[in-house]
Amino acid sequence: MSKARILSFLTLGSLLAACAPMTGPPPAPALPAPKPGPVMPVGQIDQRLAAYTQKYNEWQAVAGRQTASGQEAAAPWAQCLRMAGSLRESYGRLREEATQVPAAAARPGQPPLDPWEVLRADIGYLESGCDPLYRQLKAEAVSAASEPTASVPEPEAAVVRLVGEHRYEDALAAYRSLEQRFPDRQPSLPARRAYGMALLYTGQVDKAAAVLGEVLPRLPEGGQPAAKRLSADLLLATYQLDKAKALYQSLSVQFAAMKEEEQWVADQLALLENPDSRADEMAAYIDILRLYLTFDG
């Protein structure tokens, strides 16, 4: 799986800002009913299509290994393969419909896809545990094919390497071992950044925000837009609304020449206008943002 994250997973702010206020408990935010016009720009559809094409190909490779070892098609990996394939097809259809004239948008005999249903299925995949399962199965395959090595990597480099290999639980264990072995030495900034990302990708958003909020501004790339946007997203995801708004405002200048990033920042700032009057909508949005931030695809 590519290490690069899909930066514009959803234009979440614009989606929710266009919706009627939501009610109900925040942990299960309901997506609004379809409205006329495109829900996602073609560029974002292309990103999700590419992501699920890659996931489907990866799961097909898993299927080949597992069936060769006698695993049944009812195993969890098989369901992940079907979900990734279905989403790949759905985003492909959405792209067809978004790039054709309205009269020709639907396939013969088929009504147009409901984009909100596709988004629900996308979120369902992210919540399903398929990505951690894939990383586990891939690690097992690599381990089985690798010769044992006598060399032991330097402890801090091991944390960074494990995160690069998507072995986040192992990275957390390595970092905690590092702290126990060297209690009087603070780990390096790259090791602490890797630790924060491992926390984030294992769903520990609040802990990740605390670590990365202290580390990111001190890194050489801390002033770059991508690092600042992650910092702002984490502030928003942990309800530090005033700090998030200030950082998004500073980003709006940096992103002036970057259309998609500028739109993301604009959407976040629109959502942060009078947040007290939109408490239910804000809670629902932050729930989805927290889920998005833990996605490493």
The number of helix segments (H) and strand segments (E) in the chain equals 13, 0
Give the integer Cα–Cα distance in Å for 96 and 3: 28
pLDDT band at 259 (very low <50, low <70, confident <90, very high): low
Q: Is the pLDDT of residue 290 over 80?
A: yes
* φ/ψ (deg, to 5) at 106: -85, 150
- The predicted pLDDT at position 296 comes to 67
Mean pLDDT of 125-136: 87
pLDDT band at 150 (very low <50, low <70, confident <90, very high): very low
pLDDT band at 4 (very low <50, low <70, confident <90, very high): very low
Q: Which two tokens stand for residue 189?
A: 């900034």
As to burial, measured by CB atoms within 10 angstroms (0-12 exposed, 13-18 middle, 19+ buried), residue 157 is: middle
Cβ partners under 8 Å of residue 205, min gap 6? 234, 237, 238, 290, 293, 294
Mean pLDDT of 105-134: 81
- The predicted pLDDT at position 108 comes to 60
pTM of the predicted structure, to 2 decimals: 0.45
